[in-house]
Structure 1
């Protein structure tokens, strides 16, 4: 399986729709909606009263980097408790 990554050449100011983000991180929309309701996950925006949710590429990168760091820290702590 390929790791989740955002192509380096994507402009940080570019926008992704909610659906595009879910596809990118290979996560069901229902899960990402749940994160949003619980106040976790990336920061979303709506523009000019539009019903669509958007995320910037920069925010998607921030979220993925945070998720990777959190997982690495959890894995590290789990390894220490077994030692």
Structure 2
């Protein structure tokens, strides 16, 4: 199993492509697209409202931190 890791040297405003984000979180693109259609997951941006999807490193970190905080496994551990 591979852990999710965003290199510390990446600045908060660095842009990641949709594909890079999916690789970082080890999640299939289809799953992340489904999240997006359902209004879940991180906030995405497009240049001039068209083209490729991007996410900032800061938003990716926020999303991962929120997912960990909301994890049922974490909540079970905290209540033990």
Instruction: Tell me which interval the TM-score lies in, with the shorter structure as reference length.
Output: 0.7 to 0.9
Superposed CA offset, 1:42-80 (max 9, x none): 000001243100000000000000111111xx2255566
- Name segments (4+ residues, structure 1) moved above 2 Å: 75-80
Q: Which has the higher helix share?
A: 1
Q: Which residue of 2 aligns with 1:75?
A: 73
Unpaired stretches in structure 1, ≥5 consecutive residues = none
Q: Which residue of 1 aligns with 2:16?
A: 16
Unpaired stretches in structure 2, ≥5 consecutive residues = none
Bigger Rg, structure 1 or 2:
1
TM-score by length of 1: 0.84
TM-score by length of 2: 0.87
Q: Which has the higher strand share?
A: 2
Matches within 5 A, 1:4-83: 4-71=4-71, 74-75=72-73, 77-78=75-76
In 2, Cα distance between the equivalents of 1:40 and 1:2?
23
